[in-house]
Amino acid sequence: MRIIVTAKQVPDPEAPQSSFSVDSATNTVLVAGSVPAAISDMDSYAAEAALRIKDEVADTKVSVLSLGKDHVLDVIKRPLAMGADELFLIQDEDLANGDAIAIANTLATAIKKIGEFDLIMCGRQSADLDQGIVGTALAAILGIPVLTNAVGVRLNDDWIEIDRIVEDGIDTVAAKLPALVTVSNEIGAVRYATMRGIMAARKVQPTIWGKEDLGVIEETDPFTTVVDLFAPENTSNVEMLEGESAADSGRLLAQKLREERLI
């Protein structure tokens, strides 16, 4: 069985907010050079879901595919240290800066170059843009079914079955392979990379492709355009309630909450 996991390298989302600023002239985010790179959180969960299948199904091969302009190998190899088998990197600034549909087209071209597959696993959304478009667009381009927001994934012969959270419980849906699944963080904890896994990952030489290696990719007008980009303003409205005693303060608080229809 062949599983392809897409993984995106992003600026560490745990970095202080002061490390990020907005260039209003170009509607882009500027990242301080001190911010380390990381794998988008949801993509780590996608890798974990793929590796759980590998644990249960013999002869399963997990390939990792990433599009970017300046990959840090120690970062992007994390899924390999967890147990994935091979790494494909698309390194091209123009391709990496495309909108969600352009990125999906690039990934689809690379996947066709990789060859036959049974399952593609993507994170629910990226940690930097949070759009959640690429996975479903990739499935549409490849002409395969897509199952979204998986919190549980099971292989059943030539079908993939997932659980996903809905408002009043859990939905269980399935699709015939080949298919694409987007994975959510509720799937559970991501395994730690072992020292043996880290050492093995260091020996893996990634396959690196540029625009020329993927063939001629015609530049087209983007499907989406950033109209405005800004950091939200944080405001607060604090009202101090002081009673004659702790009990009186509690009474005043309860009265205020009732007035605001919060209780």
In a shared domain, residues 199 and 249: no
**Residue from 62, 79, 66 nearest 6 by CA:** 66
25 lies in some domain: yes
56 confidence band (pLDDT: 50, 70, 90) = very high
Q: What are phi and psi of 75, to 5 degrees?
A: -85, -55
In a shared domain, residues 78 and 144: yes
% residues pLDDT > 70 (the chain) = 98
pLDDT value of residue 14: 85
Q: What distance in Å separates the CA atoms of residue 82 and residue 126, rounded to the nearest whole number?
A: 20
Q: What distance in Å separates the CA atoms of residue 185 and residue 126, rounded to the nearest whole number?
A: 12
In a shared domain, residues 68 and 138: yes
User: How many domains are contained in the chain?
Assistant: 2
In a shared domain, residues 74 and 24: yes
59 lies in some domain: yes
Residue-wise pLDDT tens digits, 180-239: 999 999 999 999 999 999 999 999 999 999 988 988 565 667 788 888 887 777 777 888
Residue-wise pLDDT tens digits, 13-49: 888 888 888 888 888 888 888 899 999 999 999 999 9
In a shared domain, residues 255 and 204: no
143 confidence band (pLDDT: 50, 70, 90) = very high
Q: What is the mean pLDDT of residues 95-124?
A: 94
Identity (one letter) of the amino acid at 252?
L
- Domain limits for position 258: 233-263
Q: What distance in Å separates the CA atoms of residue 145 and residue 143, rounded to the nearest whole number?
A: 7
In a shared domain, residues 16 and 100: yes
**What is the pTM assigned to this prediction?**
0.84
Rg, C-alpha atoms of the chain = 22
CA angle centred on 163, ends 162 and 169, rounded to 5°? 160
224 lies in some domain: no
113 lies in some domain: yes
Q: How far is CA 51 from CA 153, 155, 261, in A?
A: 11, 12, 48
In a shared domain, residues 250 and 150: no
Q: What distance in Å separates the CA atoms of residue 189 and residue 66, rounded to the nearest whole number?
A: 22
Q: Cβ distance 64 to 2 under 8 Å?
A: no
